Chain A
Amino acid sequence: MMRAEPWQSAEVCGPTKAQSIKKTAVVGALLKKAKHPLMVIGAQALTEKTRKKPMIDYCIELSTAGNIPIVATANTIKAFKEKGFDNAYSYGAMEITGRLQDHDWMVAPKKGPHDLVITYGYPYYMEWLMLSALINFSQHIKTVTIGRYYQPHATWSFPNLKKQNWNDALKEILTTVGGAK
């Protein structure tokens, strides 16, 4: 395991730093507690792989196991639709970042604001800024990023992980929500 420090150089953050996910059970507990979780997934899910499969497959598994709706940004939505997954909604990354600042807004027709957001699939600097918006303006939301690199603006983030450790951690999270085969 590498250190919990910003991955991209010079991306030094302010006083609030994400807690490093040392045990994946934490994520399971957060998901269990959350009333209206949401996953916000960017286009790197189409190219990055975990355990030889593109991350989009993992996102579908996690979403299905935890019954978590997905906001798929940019063209990511196309791949979700092609895979026959119907719990994905299309918004731009900036759009969803803006919408989540509205306490009354929800992606799916349910009551109450989202209280937990899982992010993945953006250029490092972009996710950094999206999470910064949420930390400052959506205090009702906890954020968990499941990318390989430490994102200090999340509430919870992996430290910078080696590929194998990341694969293992993702699998464990899936298991905690009852999804791994």
Chain B
Amino acid sequence: MKVEFALTEQKRARLKADKLDTGFGSFRNVEVTIGKVVDDDWDEPMGPTPMPDVTTLRSWDHKLLTRYRPAYMPACQLCCLCTFGKCDLTSGKRGACGLDIEGQSARIVLAAANIGCAAHLAHSRHMVDHMIHEFGPRFELTQGEGVEIEAPVARLVTGIRPRTLEDASAILDYCETQLTHTLSAVHTGQEGSWIDFESKAFHVGMIDQVGMEIADLAQISTLGFPQSDPEAPLVEAGIASMDPKKAMILAIGHNVVPATYIMDYASETGVTENIDIAGICCTAFDITRYDAKAKIVGPISWQLRFVRAGFADVIVVDEQCIRTDILDHAKKVNSPVIATCDKSAMGLPDRTDDDTDEIVKDLVSGKTPGVYLTDHAKIGEVVVKTAIKMHPKRKKKGSLPSKAKIQELAQACRQCSECIRACPNDQPVMDAVLAAQEGNLGPLADVYDECIGCARCESACPNDYELHSWMVKAAEGRWKQESFMVRSGRGAIKDTEIRTVGQPIVFGEIPGVIAHVGCANYPDGGRAIHDHAEEFAKRRFIVVFSGCAAMTVGTIKDEEGKSIYERRPGTFDAGSVLNVGSCVSNSHIAGAAIKIASIFAKRNLRGNYEEIADYIHNRVGAVGISWGAMSQKAASIAAGFWRLGVPVIVGPHGTKYRRMLLGRADKAEDWMVWDARTGKRVQVAAGPEHLFYAVENFEELMVLTAKLAIRPNDTAKGRAIKLSHYIDLHETYNGYFPEDVHSYIRRETDIPITLKDKIHAQMKENKWKEKPIPDPTLVRRLVYGGNGGGE
């Protein structure tokens, strides 16, 4: 019997069988359409590309990739992915499969984006399946009041308006299919051209945005998270916010589901007052979205210091960004580890079918250092009971050595420099150890400030010094004081907020939307993120945060002890600093840009990706920033922004993504657009100049952010405002008036009034001529009146 199951384009589920045996008898050639998966009340017409395949949007990608050519920086020139190899691809040589270094470099980009997308998508799938199990497939999805467009990315990409968990699941089916295709392209002997590898990376980045949006929509709808709430609660963060008198449960990772069962069990059994539950990385945000009394320890890089300081009476890990050796560190401080996710079972025994009290007994006695559990209810009970029993037993005992012990151990330092060579941030670890020989722990404490907690220095040290612990001990006085307020994740941006700011953003009068996302692989501590956000909020940009960056920005306090979240409103408006939530919430930032096109410009978004991306690229001055980008997820998040034409800046460690997307401001032919009103080709200024760029330092970040907010569609007023920020920051950090201002002046009215003389002089010197201000598009078919006709 051949049975086919398909979701039709209209999102009806269809079952087709040539012969079907049922309790009622045997039927031939059956075709059943099972209800409507999605209501058909949506009167928005379907655009040209619902559920695009891998190559459907290829021509759009190629347009972007022609303007923003990839600049590859291979980490090495070898490929060792198949048994034909290793192959030497240096300087134009080809591997046995025919691939060259450009192709291989683009393949690495695609591989990273695939991995990142897979991590989010698997998280999303788990979330949706779990919620369907809990609440049923017809459970309705919502982003709360004031949000009609509940899933702008999914609507744009798939043409589906997800109303229920069942719809969400159907959308994930589509995403999973696409990921399988883009992943398969990495196999030896499939794709060979750099531009098509890149196009596939864009595709999977777009799919990633859908997956993230569905994950967050599902958890917001079911778990009582703040729903598009600008006043999402301020929550306590930092080590000093933990109460040492309480049993402490530390949750690490990204998937909040297990932690919700822990919190539920604690509250059902009336022990909430006896425990602190705190999180590291995105689970931290999501537990506070579930219960504002939960606490945030800090970003991903704080795992080791917190565990070694001995706070955690139980460590619960779910998925993504967990230290893979967490069990070893936990053992040293006698903290049992509960692994809760199939992605990271940590080599622990699966005790799901065992009696709860037996499991607790074994954990508390130390018979087993940890367990793997898949039953959420059991996780809740085991974790809470274990924490309460461990608390008096452990007495918060950490593994940090005493200061005297550090001094004593330091005497044997071999001055081999291996610790420095291992440090990704080139910290003067050895010098700090030598100072410690004399009893001066100041330099070790200074290293702590710029340390990302990777412990590579320890692994390298021939004396097996626990150098990171030494730094943590040396800086004890600092982190023991560390307590700050962070705004919990608000979720999506309201349609009503978009109505207010859509026009000023598109006209350039709100000079830009800055999205700080991602990890904590900072080159010199996290202060840069705060200073950047503060400066641009002052300049009336809208500054949006998600993920670890959203925690880091809260760590800096003003003279009154207030964090940026306490000083600035959480609305989506000029001068605000808002936190959308965890990593998956960053899809709301793309969502906001899409909603501007839909709500303000009244463009159809249903299955209409290219037009909306073209709109955003030419009109919405959004800039993504990931100062500490580390993961493959950050790569796929960036890829999603690239396909929307939104530029992304990463910190210096981001060079290790090994490929930039660079525009050439000096090549006029690269900056041609169609004027949608006249159908003519028009040259515009280089804005945004680059699509992916790793800056060298904070100073470059400041100048480049302002510059990348420029868009062809800026009104004269908007352009003047954007230029004045660019000029001012350029003068501050580069020390002189930028030489390319004239290229951004289209008409006299674009000139910021106070800078008229200087700009006029520059215009004269460069033989400036007035230029038209087009209604810009890169897509010829979008010229009004059909003047275009495909391209």
Contact = CB atoms under 8 A, between A and B. Distances in A.
Interface in B80-118: 88-92, 101
B658 to A, nearest CB: 7
A125 B72 contact: no
Contact of A14 (B78, B92, B658): B78
Contacts of B101: 136
B74 A132 contact: yes
A130 interface: yes
Interface residues of B, number: 44
Residue of B91, B422, B694, B696 most packed against chain A (CB within 10 A): B696
Contact of A125 (B656, B662, B736): B656
A46 B173 CA distance: 53
B176 interface: no
Nearest to B423: A8
Contacts of B389: none
B656 A139 contact: no
A71 interface: no
B666 to A, nearest CB: 8
Interface string B143-163: 000000000000000000000
A101 B92 CA distance: 13
Given A81-B735, A92-B704, A75 B662 contact: no
Nearest to A75: B699
Interface in B691-743: 693-697, 699-700, 704, 733-736
B426 interface: yes
Contacts, number: 125
B660 A75 contact: no
B720 to A, nearest CB: 23
Nearest to B731: A78
Given A78-B733, A92-B695, A136-B77, A14 B71 contact: no
B191 interface: no
A34 interface: no
Given A97-B71, A122-B696, A123-B652, A8 B77 contact: no
A129 B76 contact: no
Nearest to A130: B73
Contact of B77 (A15, A74, A129): A15
B697 A43 contact: yes
Contacts of A108: none
Do most interface residues of chain B lie in helix, strand or loop, or is the interface mixed? mixed
B697 A16 contact: no
B77 A124 contact: no
B85 to A, nearest CB: 12
A11 B386 CA distance: 43
Contacts of B129: none
Contact of B76 (A13, A122, A137): A13
Nearest to A126: B655
Do most interface residues of chain A lie in helix, strand or loop, or is the interface mixed? helix
Residue of A90, A94, A125 most packed against chain B (CB within 10 A): A94
Nearest to B76: A14
Contacts of B734: 75, 77-78, 90
Contacts of B92: 136, 139
A43 B696 contact: yes
Nearest to B701: A74
Interface string A102-125: 000000000000000000001111
Contacts of A18: none
B523 interface: yes
B17 interface: no
B77 A16 contact: yes
Contacts of A79: 735
A133 B736 contact: no
A164 interface: no
Residue of B78, B89, B101, B697 most packed against chain A (CB within 10 A): B697
A127 B697 CA distance: 14
A13 to B, nearest CB: 6
Given A15-B90, A75-B697, A125-B424, A136 B72 contact: yes
Interface in A51-104: 73-75, 77-79, 81-82, 90, 92-95, 97-99, 101
Contacts of A12: 76
A7 B695 contact: no
B72 A123 contact: no
B418 interface: yes
B735 A82 contact: yes
A13 B456 CA distance: 19
Contacts of A92: 693, 695-696, 700, 704
B460 interface: yes
Residue of A124, A125, A128 most packed against chain B (CB within 10 A): A125
A78 B90 contact: no
B697 A74 contact: yes
Contacts of A132: 73-77
Given A9-B418, A81-B736, A94-B694, A135 B655 contact: no
B351 interface: no
A100 B78 CA distance: 23
Contacts of A137: 72, 91
A37 interface: no
B421 interface: yes
A91 B88 CA distance: 32
Contacts of B660: 94, 97-98
A72 B574 CA distance: 34
A129 B653 contact: no
B91 to A, nearest CB: 5
Given A94-B660, A129-B655, A136-B101, A9 B421 contact: yes
A14 B90 contact: yes
13 contacts: A8-B421, A14-B74, A14-B90, A43-B696, A81-B735, A92-B693, A92-B700, A92-B704, A123-B523, A123-B652, A135-B77, A136-B90, A139-B92
Interface of A: 7-9, 12-16, 42-43, 73-75, 77-79, 81-82, 90, 92-95, 97-99, 101, 122-126, 128-130, 132-133, 135-137, 139
Interface of B: 69, 71-78, 88-92, 101, 418, 421-422, 424, 426, 456, 460, 523, 652-653, 655-656, 658, 660, 662, 664, 690, 693-697, 699-700, 704, 733-736
Given A12-B76, A133-B72, A133-B74, 15 more contacts: A8-B426, A9-B460, A13-B77, A14-B88, A16-B91, A43-B696, A73-B700, A92-B695, A92-B696, A97-B660, A123-B652, A129-B75, A135-B77, A137-B72, A137-B91
List 3 tightest A-B contacts by C-beta distance, closest first. A78-B735, A14-B77, A75-B699
